[in-house]
Amino acid sequence: MGVEVHRVASLLWICYHASKLLQRWGCRERMVFVRKSLLFLWLLIVSGCRMALPQEMDFSHAVITGNYRQSAIHRIAARELQRYLASLSGNLLHMEERKYPSTYPVAIHLLSEDTGIPLTVELVRMGLFRNRTEAKEQVRRWFGDAWASEDAFLLTAYRRSGRCVLLIIGRQPRGVLYGVYTLLEKLGVGFTLGGDVLPPKRVHLRLAPFTQLWKPAFAIRGSLPWFNFLNSPTTWNIEDYRFFFDQMVKMKANFVGFHSYDFEPFCAYRWEGKLTGGEPLVTSTDYNWGQVRGLTTAEFGFGTGESFEEPRFGSRATLEASNREEAIRRAQKLLADALTYAKKRGLKVALGFELHGDPTDPLTQHHLEARLRALLQQYPVLDYVWLWQAEGLGSGSPLPPPQSRLNVLREEWRQHFAYLGDERRIHEATRITAYLLLAHRILKAIAPQKRLVVGGWGGDRWMRFSDFFIGMDRILPKDIIFSALDNIDPAWEPGVAQAYGRLSPQRQRWAIPWFESDGGGLRRDQWAPQCNVHPFSRLLPDALHKGCQGILGIHWRTREVEDVAAFTMRFAWNPQMSEQAFWQDYTRRCFGEKRAASMARVMQQLDSLGPRWTGGAGQVECGSFQWFSDPARLPSQANLRTLQTVRNTVASLHAQAVHEGATAYAERLRQLLTTIDWVVAYDRAALALWNIEKRVAEAEWHSNAGRREEARRIAKESVEDLRDALAQLGRAMQLRQRLLVTRGDWGVLATVNVKAYAAALGLRDRLSTLSGIPIEIPQVTGAAYFAHAQPGTLLFCGEPLTLKVAVNFPTGTPPKVELLYRRAGEKRFRTLPMRVVKGHVYRATIPANELAPPGVEYTFHVPGHLNPQPVYGVTVAEPVPLPVSTPLRYATPPPPPVAVRAQSTGAYRVMLRWRDHAGSKGIVAYEVERQQEAGEFVPVARWFTTHLIDEPVMPGNVTYRVRAVDAAGATSEWMTAPVRVPVPPPPPVVEGVVAEAGAGKVRLRWLPVQGAIAYLVERRDAPEAPWRQIARVARTLYVDAPLPGQAFAYQIRAIDAGGQLGEPGEKAIAQPLPVSSEPVLWLRFDGNTEAAGGYRVRTEGSVSYDTGVDGQAIRLGASGAVVIEPDPRFHLTRELTVSMWVRFDRLTQMPVLLAAGRWEEEGFFLQVLQGKIRFYLGRGNVLDAGEIQPGRWYHLTATYDMAEMCLYLNGDLIATQPMNAPEIARWRGELVIGQYHDRAEVYQVIGLIDEVRLYDRALPPEEVRALYEPYGGK
């Protein structure tokens, strides 16, 4: 406002002098009046300015003072402030340590409580208060209850006794750091995951008096960067970690955590001399998430490989290693260095792995302890150990064998998990809870200062691990933190998982919505924006309402999720902030005050367009490549028109910023313009290639059917279209090349190459073969671009600064590139030539001796080619010593447990209880042994709680002994407890016996008997015949296969743990149905789709015939399927067998071989998922097994015999799973071969299918083998 007033005053002063000239030229009387009026107005405005100006304080020449040498983070805060203010004003502010003379007219004081000197003492020494009592009262008024928050901070600027004072007071040093960044934001600086945005340099840094208190609404604020994709930390190097951590801290985040799959290296550990639980990081040549073809960077398309300095795109941890073990160790060292840096920056850090196996098994327990020890040794700076339920187990896991102690725990905790309903979910909740109890005890023993966090795939509409929290909350210690990934599409629900709102107040909980998704809902593609600010505007308030103390976001990319990450961090500090207020603030920082209003409307308009902006579905990041993963979601003309309108607006604002010389704002606008151009250009190319792919599939269909000329005609007509589409793809990829800022941007470009470009190469090869015309990849003129790979923005003294750029100006010769740099506060740049590393990549290193606190500014120059570039900055601070906790060591054996008691609590059941010794430390487990009468002691369990249910225990005199085991492996003395176990009464009779007739079978079902561990099944073959035992089973279901033709009577007797038999109960009679040897459906595909029995069969899409295992087989291409209209004969509800031969040309994401049902609904289907065969039976029964590869024939058979699901591969039984449901939920729809009922490319079979048979009975193994053997050698 002050600047505008001065402009008006200046204009009036000019008008006043103009009136004097006009007076001389003859307009005397009128001009005298005008002169007097103008003079009066000018004096009035100037006097007003003089009254207003003293309200503002100029800090461009302030002195920075404080006790910053007492804390490393405090010291970094001071250096960051000094360097940034030098960049904003050109003045290097002086720094003084703990000197507060009143002669400083302008001072910025950095203060915190946790620096060794009380804050009130500091305030009195500064002369701001007369005594500590007065200072204490003022601090109380400033902070109020916010003082309890460790990250709270205060900014206050005011005048006192002619001095201008700015105080930045933090509850802890990290609060001072946040205060510095908040002050810089008040001065116009923008902080995002894509980098800093600095306003144009100005002489004065004026602030009006103000007081602001900042207290976070979420105690934990941060992100969960996910490994596995090329655009993720999988390909990061140390400079990429440092840059990311720097930007997170500037946005006032305080946490970063990582999850590691067992095929990733970070949590690998040594077991029996070998590294297990980890593999090296992938590169562009062996990437396995939907990669079409592995490529070196030299093989990347349309010149985009010139932007890469590596022969393979990936982390140096893999590229510089000579073998597997070295690659794993290098990756672990990389992450350890990165986490150490994060700690120095003030971030809390976490890392963890998934939990597999049975935690009650002693071998599994030893593995867990070894892995936790290795984790803490490799990463001593960890604040949290993050243990994860394995992906997808929220729906439950297979029940354990009878001997597993998990069965006992499941019964003990059933009351807590009964609400889950499904027995498999109850079991999985029990398994993960037991694992956490074990891990909690181990951590308390070896590193008690580390907090344990549990994570999993949750969400009320996703994998629902968070459902388990309610029961787990009742069992687990309150210091275990609960977290879960929420719904994969953040727009699915207006809130986070309901379970968060039902936990006890003492339980810390962290919600983890998705900054971006990798394949769920509408958000699948990570090559374009996903537009999640609006969904998060509903999720974040709900998380706060449900009591979540932490809010994190899962993501792979960084720059392209910077808007939703910024919104999350802003909301975490200011929950009253609206979505509109965020966009106003965000655009002001990123694009400048003049353009903020227009750009806020633009950004909201883009966000409202939804994922990818164009309306097209894009590819699925975690799956097989498709040009459009949903054919129903193609680019919308309405969206494209809106994008063109938006582009025109942004282009106008970009030209304005360039004209003003606002290079940082202009660069941001250029990036947005290029992103719009990239998304539109790629979708147009993808649409053209998608249509050509369908024509190629049609030509292949004609070719396979023997119509070669027709196939050649279609192919030739498509050649020119393919050349044009390839050129469009090339231009799009070169636009993507202009968006290289972070490592994730290089990763997106690499992924586009190994997926889209590789798919285009495959399409070119197929069309060239069909047409007989060689098709060259068109040469696309390289677009000019300049890409700067931003390093971290903080260095410590003694570290050099290496900078990398990728530059292309199509001149025929590599351009000369210069690095210009200067120390903070200097006026003139020094010049350092950059050398070509490879292709278009240049590097230069500023040596460590040229770098000194508080830092350096740099920019780039390409003589004759490059417009002015933004000036970047790096802070240099003094080295930071980092205290690291070491695992506890125990010199003496642990004391024994106390108060060991044994009590018989039921039939064959003993409850053991004991307490930890008051002086015990580091106990990781208890060993329990049992002695029956006068026999030997035998191991019972290695246990992790102070109570244990032992069963079955035979009647008689029993003695138990218990001893403690500490973290060093030392054991205490044994403590014993005797108990008398009585003989229980025999089990009661079995009720509810039902016999159901099947084809050559009888299925028996009955109600469970309490205390029974097994059941004796007896059969009588004739009314007067004796009863004879035919089976002993553990389930309440049995399928008998007697000779058909007569009725049989059955009775069931319960068996208890001691072997006592109960009396027989109800009798049931059934007669097996006749066995039909013929299938109810048989499709031979010998040149047609005819099926005996009058079925109505049709084909869809690309369907042709080729050589099969017996005659011909059906070949399925794009959208190809065989559909049989609804018929009661295949609407099976009891037994069934599905048998077929299949050979894939290539595997799509989840091809469905045969479907007569839907997921989590009725019916059944057979598919291949992630290379494994999946057999699904109605209402969620799933059996996964085997391994399928393209290019080979496989014989697949799935059976259900009214009791058990079985999978056979090439005649061999490979997996079984019990199914307790009395019958399959009846499917009443059509039967589809080669596709799913919801047609989509992800379900498409690309390849051959032959000899499809469907039986209304379960074939026995010998009949399955007989179907395979005649053709198995082919």
**Cα–Cα distance measured from residue 830 to residue 847, given in angstroms and rounded to the nearest whole number:** 13
Q: How far is CA 862 from CA 174, 373, 873, in A?
A: 40, 52, 19
Nearest to 1089 by CA among 1120, 1119, 1122, 1116: 1122
Contact in structure between 520 and 667 (CB atoms under 8 Å): no
Check residue 330 and give its pLDDT: 97
Number of neighbouring beta carbons within 10 Å of residue 574: 16
The amino acid at residue 1064 is P
Closest CA to 1062 of 989, 985, 983: 989
Which regions in the chain score pLDDT beneath 50? 1-7, 9-10, 12-13, 16, 22, 25, 42, 46-54
CA dist 890 and 972 (Å) reads 13
Residue 163 and residue 230 in one domain: no
Cα gap 445→923, rounded to integer Å: 6
Can you give 169-228 as a three-state secondary structure string?
Answer: EECCHHHHHHHHHHHHHHCCCEEECCEEECCCCCCCCEECCEEEEECCCCCEEEEEECCC
CA distance 1120 to 1098: 11
d(CA 561, CA 234): 17
623, part of any domain: no
Is the domain of 403 the same as that of 500? yes
User: Which residue in 363, 438, 371, 451 sits closest to 926, CA to CA?
Assistant: 438
651 lies in some domain: yes
Rounded CA gap, 279 and 467, in Å? Answer: 32
CA atoms within 13 A on the CB side of 1068: 22
* CA-closest candidate to residue 457, choices 411, 400, 518: 518
How is residue 462 annotated by DSSP?
Answer: I
Q: What is the pLDDT of residue 52?
A: 35
Domain membership of residue 614 (yes or no) is no
- Out of 1036, 1070, 1104, a domain closes at 1070
Which is nearest to 684 in space by CA: 642, 620, 730?
A: 730
Strand 451-455, strand 384-389: pairing: parallel
The answer to whether position 893 is within a domain reads no
CATH code: domain of residue 1143: 2.60.120.200
- Asked if residue 563 lies in contact with residue 582, where contact means CB atoms within 8 angstroms, the answer is no
Q: Are residues 1246 and 1102 part of one domain?
A: yes
Of 954, 980, 1006, the residue that ends a domain is: 980
Q: What are the φ and ψ backbone dihedral angles of 643, each rounded to 5 degrees?
A: -60, -35
Tell me what pLDDT residue 285 has: 93
Judge whether 81 and 873 are in contact, CB under 8 Å. Answer: no
Distance CA 715, CA 701 (A): 12
pLDDT of residue 1161: 81
On whether both 51 and 61 belong to a single domain, the answer is no
Q: Is residue 585 part of a domain?
A: yes
Tokens matching residue 234: 């999988």
Domain match, 689 and 747 both: yes
Number of structural domains the chain divides into: 8
Report d(CA 41, CA 58) in Å as an integer: 27
With contact defined as beta carbons under 8 Å apart, do 555 and 226 qualify?
Answer: yes
Interatomic CA distance for residues 480 and 460, integer angstroms: 22
Q: Residues 1229, 1230, 1234, 1235: is their CA dihedral positive or negative?
A: negative
Residues 721, 762 within the same domain: yes
Tokens encoding 1050: 């059955």
Work out the number of other CB atoms within 10 angstroms of the CB of residue 477.
Answer: 12
DSSP result, 892-911: SPPPPPEEEEEEEEETTEEE
Q: Are residues 21 and 168 in the same domain?
A: no
Q: Are residues 969 and 1011 in the same domain?
A: no
Instruction: Sort strands 220-225 and 255-260 into parallel, antiparallel or unpaired.
Output: parallel
Residue 84: give its domain's CATH number: 3.30.379.10
Evaluate whether residue 619 is within a structural domain. Answer: no
Here the CATH number for the domain that contains residue 1004 is 2.60.40.10
Do the bridges between strand 1112-1116 and strand 1121-1124 make them parallel or antiparallel, or are there none, so unpaired?
Answer: unpaired
pTM equals 0.87
**Which residues, other chains included, contact 4 with Cβ-Cβ below 8 Å and sequence gap of 6+?**
none
Angle ∠(533,537,538) on CA atoms, nearest 5? 130
DSSP conformation class of 107: E
Is 472 part of any domain?
yes
CA–CA separation, 541 vs 570, rounded Å? 12
Tokens of 570: 């802003």
Q: Is the dihedral of CA 1162, 1168, 1172, 1173 positive or negative?
A: positive
Our measurement of the distance from residue 159's CA atom to the centroid of its chain's CA atoms, rounded to an integer in Å, reads: 49
Taking each continuous run of H as one helix and of E as one strand, the counts in the chain are 24, 58
Are the C-beta atoms of residues 950 and 910 closer than 8 Å to each other? yes
Q: What are phi and psi of 506, to 5 degrees?
A: -75, -15
Task: Please give the Cα distance from 149 to 143 (Å, whole number).
Answer: 10
Domain co-membership, 1151 together with 1249? yes
Question: How many CB atoms are closer than 10 A to CB 1262?
Answer: 8
Residue spans of alpha helices (H) in 872-958: none
Residues 439, 479 within the same domain = yes
436: domain CATH number is 3.20.20.80
What number of other Cβ atoms are within 10 A of residue 1001's Cβ? Answer: 23
Burial of 621 (0-12, 13-18, 19+ CB in 10 A): buried
Do 1162 and 1032 have their domain in common? no
Query: CA 465, 471, 477 angle in degrees (round to 5)?
Result: 100
Same domain assignment for residues 794 and 911:
no
Residues spanned by the domain of 912: 898-980
Dihedral angle, C-alpha 303, 308, 311, 313, nearest 10 °: -110
CA distance 467 to 463: 9
Last residue of a domain, one of 1070, 1098, 1126: 1070
Residue 1274 lies in a domain: no
Q: Are strands 909-915 and 947-950 parallel, antiparallel or unpaired?
A: antiparallel
